[in-house]
């Protein structure tokens, strides 16, 4: 099957491009060297520059491959930090947040890693269908989900919660489109965390007259 037959002309989207002087000749030369038509050569270049977005399964697989490589790199001084960061990323993606605790197993290490990967993928699928679980949300809150939010954003979010405008509060952290398995408990957990975070950094919010 030729490259052009992959893209039947009657099904292909058409898009006209104005080429600067000399570019057409360079494409023609490259196509001749590779044994492709000019159309196929252009498509090949576009595919390389604009690859399709990886699926969540591919993302998690790459993360676990990186964790495995980091675990084998005993000489790297930042190995532990890298493993922990990748592990945290995998858990956050799995939980459904932008972001089940695993039971200790006695299987060989590579079997356990595959089991962890499978469990996390199932968690992501479950979060997509039913929403982010409360336990996952609380774990990410403790890990610092809002740690980089400033005083004004935290204050405004607390004010929105107090006024009953949950959506406005969540929107400040781009969580307004996130589905939660237990919405009311999740909103309360977020509000409580924000109030505690504010108190730890700037003092009790209500007594300070902010709200």
- Can you tell me whether residue 180 is helix, strand or coil? strand
The token duo for 167 is 């959506």
Whether the model pTM is above 0.75:
no
Predicted confidence (pLDDT) per residue in 86-139, tens digit: 676 677 666 766 543 333 444 444 444 555 666 666 666 666 677 888 988 998
CB atoms within 10 A of CB 98: 12
List the domain boundaries for the chain.
20-52, 56-130, 146-202
The predicted-structure confidence for 30-62, as pLDDT tens digits, reads as follows: 899 888 899 888 888 888 777 776 666 666 676
């Amino acid at each position: 099957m030729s490259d052009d037959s992959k893209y039947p002309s009657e099904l292909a989207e058409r898009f006209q491009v104005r080429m600067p002087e000399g570019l057409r000749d360079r494409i023609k030369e490259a196509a001749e060297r590779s044994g492709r038509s000019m159309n196929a050569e252009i498509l090949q270049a576009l595919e390389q520059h604009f690859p399709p977005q990886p699926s969540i399964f591919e993302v998690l697989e790459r993360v676990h491959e990186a964790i495995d490589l980091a675990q084998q790199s005993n000489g790297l001084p930042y190995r532990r930090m890298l493993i922990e960061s990748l592990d945290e990323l995998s858990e956050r993606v799995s939980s459904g947040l932008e972001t089940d605790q695993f039971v200790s197993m006695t299987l060989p290490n590579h079997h356990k890693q595959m089991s962890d990967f499978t469990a996390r993928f199932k968690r992501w699928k479950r979060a997509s269908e039913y929403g982010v679980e409360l336990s996952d949300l609380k774990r990410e809150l403790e890990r610092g989900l809002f740690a980089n939010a400033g005083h004004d954003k935290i204050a405004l979010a607390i004010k929105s919660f107090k006024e009953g405008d949950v959506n406005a509060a969540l929107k400040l952290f781009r969580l307004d489109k996130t589905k939660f398995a237990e919405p009311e408990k999740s909103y309360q957990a977020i509000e409580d965390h924000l109030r505690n975070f504010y108190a730890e950094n700037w003092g009790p919010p209500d007594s300070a007259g902010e709200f």
